[in-house]
Amino acid sequence: MPELELPESLTINAWTGEAVAASPLLTDAPRRWSIARAFPRYSVPLAAEPLDLRDWRNPKVGWGIVLPDNDALPDADRATANDAPEAIRALVASRPNAVVLRYRKDVANQGFLRRYYASRPRQDLAITGGSRGTAEQCIPHYLLIYGGPQSIPWEFQYRLSLDFFVGRLDLEGQALERYVQALVSEWSGAGCQRASPVLWSTDHAPNDITHLMRLAIGEPLKARFTADDETRSGLRALFASEATSADLIAKLGEAKPALVVTTSHGMTGPLSKPVQMKTQLGWLVAADHMPINPDALLAAWEPDGAVWYSHACCSAGGDGRTLFKDLVPAGSPVAQVLQGVADLGPAVASCPRALLGAQKPLRAFIGHVEPTFDWTLQAQTRQFLTDALLKALYDRMYLADPEPVGLAFTECYRLVGSLFAQWDQQVDKVATAETADMRTATRLAAMRTKLAALDRQAMVILGDPTVALPRLK
């Protein structure tokens, strides 16, 4: 190794009008300067490590519950969940630093959630751009809405989901108690198996939307689980003619899956019998076009901690209105379905309610309010548009330490904001189009983008958003 040569002088990159002479270094003064402290000892400040958003217990992440406001209570009581059912009070008590927030229509319409305190004035906290966590003046990242869409509208859940990890629980009595007990215990002793997912995709015909759903969701998920050493042998995939009611029930009982993914039509009839229609709204429609009663599922299978994603019309419920009224001609078959569902009023569908309130409850159900459309699944170029959904169901939920469902679906909800931004730009371009053909093309692009945004925002999580699949053992 060559001997290190120390520099004898130091030059400076400066100009005074003439060259600046080099200064000698090997003298006493520079040597003393080299070890003299020019500033007190201190640690260089570093930015905090990024939050692990899986850790909802961290006060900087946090969990809260959203309840309808109650003007009959003093503010101090509205800071608690004392007016909620006993099971909800027990859930709030079990979660350190839990935050109780209140929904008020007048406040929500302005973009705020109300938070009450025991010893300070109430605050209306901004949904967008405000601070996150459980401290005062903050809204937690994870929010559980308690109540049906009659008291806290779906529209508000759509809005919250763009900024938070949001779920809804619409159960009462023993069904609520069972779900909360399982949630508080974190599904201790649950028998669901993460290595045995069940995929079920109907396919009625090449020109039917079920064919597209199988290709855009079912088949890509099957490929992912087949390539995974953990799930390859345990996977049950029932597609096309195999997507029967009997086979689904049999595979659920056999596999005891931690994840169930189904794509199918959702029941939206008979239009002439609204009472029956409301009872079976969103039920899976099997290969033989018959709806599957959730009682038949629960007679042979216990959810026992599973998570279910159902891509089907109204699988999560109905909104009591339709955002697509003027999209299709009045009186057309699609218009009749849209109006028939709207006329039923806002509600959570019976199937997820039954599964979440079962003896051994489902962890979460992810489904759709209102009908779903093919334009949301595939672009006019025939490119599939389901990448964020596939990532949520596999890449993020099947980590060794899985993400909670609320976090796993974040990218799906972010696309809603992006689509609305694109739509806004396209609306401006319609007015400035130079030719009739350009105007027509831009208007069609705006139509597709608006429909996709509205369709995607109506995907909702039912159950607590902090739940996750079991960790890899």
Distance CA 136, CA 64 (A): 13
Among residues 159, 65, 63, the alpha carbon closest in space to that of 112 is found at 159
Domain that holds residue 409: 198-428+446-462
Q: Is residue 254 part of a domain?
A: yes
**Residue holding tokens 């692009």?**
445
Q: Burial code of 263-286, b = ≥16 C-beta within 10 A, e = fewer?
A: bbbbbbbeeeeeeebbebbbbbbb
Say if 37 falls within a structural domain: no
389 and 341 assigned to the same domain: yes
Q: Is residue 40 part of a domain?
A: no
Question: Does residue 42 register a pLDDT over 50?
Answer: no
Are 305 and 393 found together in one domain?
yes
CA–CA gap between residue 192 and residue 470 (Å, rounded) = 8
CA atoms within 13 A on the CB side of 130: 24
For residue range 205-221, list pLDDT tens digits in order: 999 999 999 999 999 99
Q: What is the pTM of this model?
A: 0.89
Q: Does residue 23 lie within any of the structural domains?
A: no
Assess whether 102 and 212 both reside in one domain.
no
Question: Band of the pLDDT at 326, cuts 50, 70, 90?
Answer: confident
pLDDT in tens, 373-404: 999 999 989 999 999 999 999 999 999 999 99
Interval 49-88: pLDDT, tens:
688 999 999 999 999 999 999 999 999 999 999 999 999 9
Q: Are 238 and 297 within one domain?
A: yes
Do both 310 and 420 map to the same domain?
yes
Residue 8 lies in a domain: no
Q: Is residue 58 part of a domain?
A: no
Q: What pLDDT score was predicted for residue 257?
A: 98
CA distances from 255 to 306, 344, 431 (A): 11, 36, 56
Q: Report the alpha-carbon distance of residue 266 to residue 285 in Å, rounded.
A: 6
Q: Which residue has the higher pLDDT, 290 or 48?
A: 290
Same domain for 143 and 261:
no
What pLDDT band is residue 16 in, cutting at 50, 70 and 90? Answer: low
Give Cα 74 to chain centroid, integer Å: 33
89 and 228 belong to one structural domain: no
Does residue 219 share a domain with residue 165? Answer: no
Instruction: Identify whether residues 295 and 394 lie together within a single domain.
Output: yes
Confidence of residue 11 (pLDDT cuts 50, 70, 90): low
- 473: in domain: no
CA 197 – CA 218 distance, rounded (Å): 12
Q: How many CA atoms lie within 13 A of 374 on its CB side?
A: 13
Number of domains in the chain: 2
Residues 276 and 385 in one domain: yes
Tell me, yes or no, whether 246 and 144 share the same domain: no
Strand runs (DSSP E) across 339-433, as ranges?
Answer: 346-348, 364-368
pLDDT tens, residue by residue, 402-422? 999 999 999 999 999 999 999
If asked whether residues 264 and 135 sit together in one domain, one would say no
Q: How many angstroms separate the Cα of 308 from the Cα of each of 55, 158, 361, 471?
A: 22, 19, 11, 17
Q: Is residue 51 part of a domain?
A: no
220-261 pLDDT, tens digit each? 999 999 999 999 999 999 999 999 999 999 999 999 999 999
